[in-house]
Amino acid sequence: MKKCLAILTVLVLGASAALALGQPPQGGEKAIRDVLDGYAQAFSKGQAPATGPVFTQDAVYITDDGDRLAGREAIVGRLREYLATHKGDRMRMTGDSIRFVSPEIAEVEGNVEIRGPGGPPEISPYTALLVKHDGRWQMSTLRDLSLTAPETEMTAADHMQDLGWMVGEWKQGDGASTVALNCRLDPSGTFLLWDYAVKQAGKEVMTVNQRVGWDPQTGSFRSWVFDSVGGFAEGRWDPEPAGAWQIRQTGVVPDGSGASATCRLIPGDNDNFRWRMADRRLNGARLADIEMRFTRTGGSAK
């Protein structure tokens, strides 16, 4: 039973606000600021290739116009294009808030200031997720939060239509271990509510409640999770091709340990989806990748 609970707790974990646990690792903040400074210096020198080591191989960069650049090579390529037509631009990158999810994961918020040869700097807020691999910090996610004027004003309920297919009842597993999922919109239509029930040998051993909503500040979906054994978390969702979603997750398990995972929610058709979890970590220790398949058992989006 403990294994089942641990798997589901990591399954539903999400990104950082639930995690202000204790002191940052020794020298951690300085190491993070060194990464930010190194990125800004390479940019200011017009050296796009030198920005490459700042990012993980599978890093994701969301630009101010909503483009999603996946992978270090794509990010460096976009920077090369920009610097070729903006010679002389200089960058300063602040780290106004640095929160350590675990000794190997940090979430950073701040501003990017870009100053051309003349005139005042352009200042854009950003968020970044940094991970520590082989003793070196690198950016896993970088998101530009510049405000761009939409062609039409969309409400939170309008955005929620992208997830409307999830509404209904779903089930994973059979026999001794099962996970039943009920998904519905709240009365306002602005939040998606997920309720999980985990059963072992027909007996309910844990419940999980998740709320998914649109964050207008970051221009993305976010999720908040609480389980009946004391785990809680937050997550950030990024769209992928064919209606799939990548969910960068971090949180706290019941014993106070930090946990994280990169999840993909992959729809098959209207009656099934896969939940794939990679790079799962508990207090920095790597856990095996897993995949779960949910099948619709009733209900549908109206």
So what's the pLDDT on residue 121? 81
So what's the pLDDT on residue 33? 92
Range list of β-strands (E), 232-271: 232-239, 245-252, 258-269
Closest C-alpha to 238, from 13, 7, 15, 12: 15
Residue in the structure block whose two tokens are 């950030």: 236
Shared domain for 187 and 292, answered yes or no, is: yes
Average pLDDT, the chain: 83
Among the candidates 93, 116, 144, a domain finishes at 144
Q: Is 249 helix (H, G, I), strand (E, B) or coil?
A: strand
Percent of the chain topping pLDDT 70: 88
pLDDT digits (tens, 9 = 90+) for 245-283: 888 888 888 888 888 888 889 998 878 999 988 888 888
Cβ atoms of 221 and 163 within 8 Å: the answer is yes
Cβ atoms of 275 and 11 within 8 Å: the answer is yes
Give the count of beta carbons closer than 10 Å to the beta carbon of residue 154: 12
So what's the pLDDT on residue 182? 94
pLDDT band for position 152 (50/70/90)? low
Shared domain for 84 and 110, answered yes or no, is: yes
Query: In b/e form, how buried is each residue of 132-141, taking b as 16+ CB within 10 angstroms?
Result: beeeebbbbb
What six digits make up the tokens of 280?
């799962």
Q: Determine the residue type at 83.
A: L
Residue bearing the bigger pLDDT, 73 or 146: 73
Judged against a pLDDT cut of 70, whether residue 180 lies above it is answered with: yes
In a domain, 119, yes or no: yes
In a domain, 149, yes or no: no
- How many folded domains does the chain comprise? 2
Range of the domain at 253: 2-20+154-298
Q: What is the mean pLDDT of residues 8-18?
A: 42
User: What stretch of H or E contains 46?
Assistant: none
Shared domain for 180 and 201, answered yes or no, is: yes
264 DSSP β-pair partners:
246, 276
Residue 139 sits in a domain whose CATH number is 3.10.450.50
Residue bearing the bigger pLDDT, 170 or 122: 170
Q: What is the mean pLDDT of residues 227-238?
A: 88
Give the count of beta carbons closer than 10 Å to the beta carbon of residue 92: 18
Among the candidates 97, 118, 144, a domain finishes at 144
Judged against a pLDDT cut of 50, whether residue 186 lies above it is answered with: yes
Q: What is the mean pLDDT of residues 19-28?
A: 55
Shared domain for 281 and 167, answered yes or no, is: yes
Question: Cα torsion at 146, 250, 72, 32 (round to 10°)?
Answer: 80
Residue in the structure block whose two tokens are 């190194």: 38
Residues 6+ apart with CB under 8 A from 169: 180, 181, 182, 183, 296, 297, 298, 299
Cβ atoms of 237 and 222 within 8 Å: the answer is yes
Shared domain for 176 and 293, answered yes or no, is: yes
Judged against a pLDDT cut of 60, whether residue 15 lies above it is answered with: no
Return the top range by mean pLDDT from 19-23, 215-219, 259-263.
Answer: 259-263
Shared domain for 82 and 13, answered yes or no, is: no
Shared domain for 194 and 258, answered yes or no, is: yes
Shared domain for 158 and 256, answered yes or no, is: yes
Percent of the chain topping pLDDT 90: 31
So what's the pLDDT on residue 14? 36
What is the spatial distance between Cα 270 and Cα 272, in angstroms, rounded to a whole number? Answer: 6
Shared domain for 11 and 51, answered yes or no, is: no
Residue in the structure block whose two tokens are 């992928």: 240
pLDDT digits (tens, 9 = 90+) for 62-108: 888 778 888 899 999 999 999 998 888 999 998 888 888 777 888 89
